[in-house]
Amino acid sequence: MSTGDAMSTGDAMSTGDAVKAPVLSATSLVKRFGHVTAVDDVSFELMPGASLGIVGESGSGKTTTARILAGLEQPTSGTVTLDGRAVEGHSRRARLRQARRLQMIFQDPYGSFDPRQTIAQSIAEPMRLHAPGSRKEHRARVDELLDQVGLSSRAGQSLPRDLSGGQRQRAAIARALGVAPRVLVLDEAVAALDVSIQAQILTLLDDLRRDTGISYVFVSHDLAVVRYITDTAIVMRHGRIVERGETEQILRSPRHPYTRLLLDSIPSPGWDLDRVARDRRALDLL
């Protein structure tokens, strides 16, 4: 049911824009590092409960875009609107307000856990910052979260180094969910995982979205994963959006030659490497 709702949010704007406002929108984002333009005029909207893919290769600007959304980079120009209010400044108050609504998950969660804190302590920390309550209440909430992401309470008492990559990613998701954010930004969140573990995390993310109505911005180079986890997608190249639309539509009939190249580059039975070379030449002609 709710997946059907999520699917329709993509074109909700055309029917009744007063009814549903986007939970997150980026307007004409530009980010320059020196004379390099990493993100060049990027705009998109994310509806409540929807999942948006940002697809691209290294240097496409997808990660910089994600970092701007999470407030880890300041855009050179352009605005991010979160939950109806523009994200402005980076005072402590502004950052807290943003973090309560939007959380980010990275490729390797190991780097974002304090190696000397147990997983349960790490999960409780943002809660202490954002949600008032007693220690006991927080502990109950941590147990609830661990259960929600499929971790045992024993895993909660472990240090990050004692967990496998998949378990650490579950813990990172639990910590992010602790503040009940409206949006999760996932940057290559399943790229480093084994196939069988990747499938576990993907199905977990799918279930969470169905159960909680949370929205995702899913940054990935992997079109197959993006197809599974998102409703709409944008394809980025050299900092610009070259194609946007419903994910299925983009994959079935890509309009931009770069999207076509990305698709043909995916190994499959009867993989045609000559076609990949042809696609690349077509792109060079642009």
Partner 1 sequence: MLAKKTPAREEAPDGGAGTRRDALGISRLSLAVGTGESEIPLLADVTVRVGRGETVGLVGESGSGKSLTARSALGMLPRGARATGGVTVSGVDVLAAGYRELRDLRRTRVSMIFQDPRASINPVRRIGDYLTEGLRARGVPARGAAEQALDLLGQVGIRDPKGAMGRFPHEFSGGMLQRVVIAGALSTEPELLLADEPTTALDVTTQAEVIGLLKEMQRAHGTGMLFVTHDLDLAAAICDRVYVMYAGRIVEESAGASLFGAPAHPYTRALLEASPSVHGGRAEIKAIRGRPRALAEAPSGCAFRDRCPLAGDECAETVPAHRPHGTSLVACLRPEQVTP
Query: What does the binding site for partner 1 look like in residue numbers (CB under 8 A)?
Result: 57-58, 164, 166, 194-200, 202-203, 221-225, 227-228, 248, 251, 261-271, 273, 276-277, 280
- Measured from the CB atom, the residue of 82 and 205 that comes closer to partner 1 is 205
Q: Based on CB atoms, which residue is closest to partner 1, 140 or 277?
A: 277
Q: Which lies closer to partner 1 via its Cβ, residue 130 or residue 221?
A: 221
In residues, how long is the chain? 286
Q: How far is the CB of 168 from partner 1 (least distance, A)?
A: 12
Residues near 60 by beta carbon (within 8 Å), at least 6 away in sequence: 236, 237, 238, 239
Of 34 and 269, the one with the shorter C-beta distance to partner 1 is 269
In the bound complex, what is the minimum distance in angstroms from residue 261's beta carbon to partner 1?
6
How far is residue 46's CA from residue 24's CA, in Å, rounded to a whole number?
5
Closest contact distance (angstroms) between CB of 272 and partner 1 is 10
- Contacts of residue 12, Cβ cutoff 8 Å, sequence gap at least 6: 19, 20, 47
Residue 185 contacts residue 66 (beta carbons within 8 Å): yes
Min dist CB 269 to partner 1, Å, is: 6
Shortest gap between Cβ of 176 and partner 1 (angstroms)?
A: 20
83/231 with CB nearer partner 1: 231
CB 268 within 8 A of CB 242: no
* 127/229 with CB nearer partner 1: 229
**Smallest distance from partner 1 to CB 197, Å:** 6
73: left (phi over 0), alpha (psi -120 to 50) or beta: beta
Q: For residue 119, give every residue at least 6 positions away whose Cβ sits within 8 Å of its Cβ, in sequence order, or none.
A: 113, 146, 151, 155, 156, 157, 158, 159, 160, 163, 171
